[in-house]
Amino acid sequence: MDKSDRQEFLDSARRAADEGEPTRLSVRQLIGYWNAAGRGSRIAYRVQAEVQSAGLETYPDFRKVSLDTLVTLRLLGETPTPPAETSNEASTVPGDSASGVDNREATDDGDDASTALTIGTIPSADLGGELIGVTPQDTLTKAKTLMMMHDFSQLPVMTSDRSVTGAVTWRSISQAVMANPVATLRDAIDEVHIYDFDHDLLAVLPTIITDDFVLVRDVERRVRGIVTTSDLAEVYHQLASPFFLVGEIDRRLRQLIRKVPISDVNALCRPDRPPEDDHDGLTMGDYQRILENPTQWGLLLPQLDRVAFVHVLQEVTSIRNDLMHFNNSDPIDADTIEKLKQLFPDRSFNPAVIDEFNDMSRLEMERVRDFIILHYKANQRDDTAFWRDCQAVVAPDTLKHKIELFRERGHFIRYRWEMFQPASWLAIYTGFDILPKTWDPSLDGVDVESLRRGLTEMRKAVRVAVDAAPSHEAFIEQYARPAPMAAQ
């Protein structure tokens, strides 16, 4: 989306807020208007500045919650209706954890102190109303059954999403039963710590390590999630893995580039800058310039495709820059991690490594090919030979298989190195009247009311996006207005 599309969206959101029906959408959808997939420091600053320029603010703060948490675009400075006070006598609420209030000032360079990691940025801190728990009136058997079925080590004990009695764990259950063989669930309830979503994650870590978990409240002080030591380990793995992978790629590339005399390196990379004395001071950009050179490529990696390799290296360089400048608080997606793992060149020219890299590039392009072919083959136009020929094209086996499974029961296949998400495939399938005969059996277990609420929010978000988009005529007028014809 360009700046004019974004401004239309913000103007529409402002009108909705003025009318008392503020726009509600996920953080992921919000930053998508800035063509972003994660909340890097620059993107977060731009989003915050442009939203505030429209007289709006996100509630809760979009920087302090997970990507899939819903936020409201309300009028700037608007005071929310305080939630009803509830009793939490059996729980422990540490510190002064003010919810949804941020009085810290931004620094001059736009790096707001409030962009520090908060507990709300952990995905499990907001389960979207799907937090599983028990009530004090439930049986101990029910609690143990739920814990075994879901492989949980603990369960919150709640009378409502704003009233927490405590929690039961395998340890508290064992202690209760050892003290009394006919113990009830109430006998096994332990104290639990509850934090607001905007609490500094570093401050919460000692409690999570000691207690194995904490509960998390949203901006309306409803308990919406649980963060465990396992969740922390997963987030640490997601955040740390790219650093190690980029470091290993840098090390191996430098080993490879050492084969190039430093005089040749300086001629390619530093024609107008002070020369390097050795290879240790080279950057990813230097590696790229050396490998882009056909002569040096022929000496270093002739077995690989130069254009494909340099394209992937450009992506790695971009990832590396974000990582080393700590520009993104959101974990890098799994596909990107996998791509980093594949870019481990060395001097051995192992055929298996070469084949894997080339297969990766081929598969990625074939997935794009299938998606494009579907646009033409499934098109129902037959008014010209071109469209009739498109319908007669023999689809690749991978595309045939995708279509067949979707037609049978609405099942989406996501192959390795698939670029397009299921939502994109769904748009093409339904747009060309490729519809499933029945639904996927796994949907039988979905709560209908939760699904209905989710679809309602989705419909609202689509409506906002459509209202913000210019008409076809307005778009042409702005971007493709024909030049005035000269007088005859």
Question: Which is more confidently placed, 1 or 384?
Answer: 384
DSSP symbol at 384? S
Q: Which two tokens stand for residue 24?
A: 């509600």
Determine whether 66 is exposed, middle or buried from the number of CB atoms within 10 Å of its CB (0-12, 13-18, 19+).
Answer: buried
For residue 102, pLDDT beyond 70: no
What is the band of 273 on the pLDDT scale with cuts at 50, 70, 90? confident
Peptide bond into 274 cis (omega under 30): no
pLDDT of 173 strictly over 60: yes
What's the pLDDT at 386? 92
Q: Please state which of the ranges 51-65, 112-126, 233-247, 406-420 shows the lowest mean pLDDT.
A: 112-126
Element (H, E) at 157: strand 154-160
* Mean pLDDT (the chain, rounded): 82
Interval 283-317: pLDDT, tens: 888 888 999 999 999 888 887 788 888 888 887 88
- HSE-CB of 302 using CA atoms within 13 angstroms: 4
Tokens of 242: 């790219």
Does the CA dihedral 402-406-411-412 come out positive or negative?
positive
- The predicted pLDDT at position 98 comes to 36
Contact residues for 115 (Cβ-Cβ < 8 A; gap 6+)? 39, 41, 44, 63, 329
* Structural domains of the chain sorted by starting position, each given as residue range(s) with its CATH number in brackets: 3-75 (no CATH), 113-221 (3.10.580.10), 234-349 (no CATH), 360-472 (no CATH)
Specify whether the CB–CB gap between 44 and 67 falls below 8 A: no
Of 108-122, 272-286, 387-401, 458-472, the range with the lowest mean pLDDT is 108-122
Those residues whose C-beta lies under 8 Å from the C-beta of residue 487, and which sit 6 or more positions away, are none
Specify the pLDDT at position 353. 66
Confidence band, pLDDT 50/70/90 cuts, at residue 18: very high
Closest CA to 221 of 75, 378, 82, 392: 82
What single-letter amino acid sits at 283? T
Q: What is the mean pLDDT of residues 433-449?
A: 81
Most trustworthy range by pLDDT among 107-111, 207-211, 308-312: 207-211
37: left (phi over 0), alpha (psi -120 to 50) or beta: alpha
Encode pLDDT of 312-345 as tens digits.
888 788 777 777 665 566 666 666 666 666 655 5
Euclidean distance between CA atoms 228 and 213, whole angstroms: 4
Report d(CA 73, CA 6) in Å as an integer: 14
Structure tokens at 475: 């778009």
DSSP conformation letters of 23-92:
EEEEHHHHHHTTT-SS-BHHHHHHHHHHHHHTTEEEES-TTSS-TTSEEEEEETTPPPPPPPP---TTSB
Say whether pLDDT at 22 is over 50. yes
Rama region for 29: left / alpha / beta (φ>0; ψ in -120 to 50; rest): alpha
The H-or-E segment that residue 118 falls in is none
- 109 pLDDT more than 60: no
Task: Give, in degrees to the nearest 5, the angle at Cα 363 between 362 and 369.
Answer: 90
| CA atoms of 250 and 255, how far apart (whole Å) | 9
The Cα-based distances of 198 to 51, 115, 201, 430, 444 in angstroms read: 20, 10, 8, 40, 36
- pLDDT score at 92: 53
Residue 176 pLDDT > 80: yes
Q: What percent of the chain has pLDDT over 90?
A: 32
Specify whether the CB–CB gap between 30 and 9 falls below 8 A. no
pLDDT in tens, 408-434: 988 888 777 777 888 889 999 999 999
First to last CA, the chain: 40
Q: pLDDT tens for residues 344-362?
A: 555 555 667 667 777 777 8
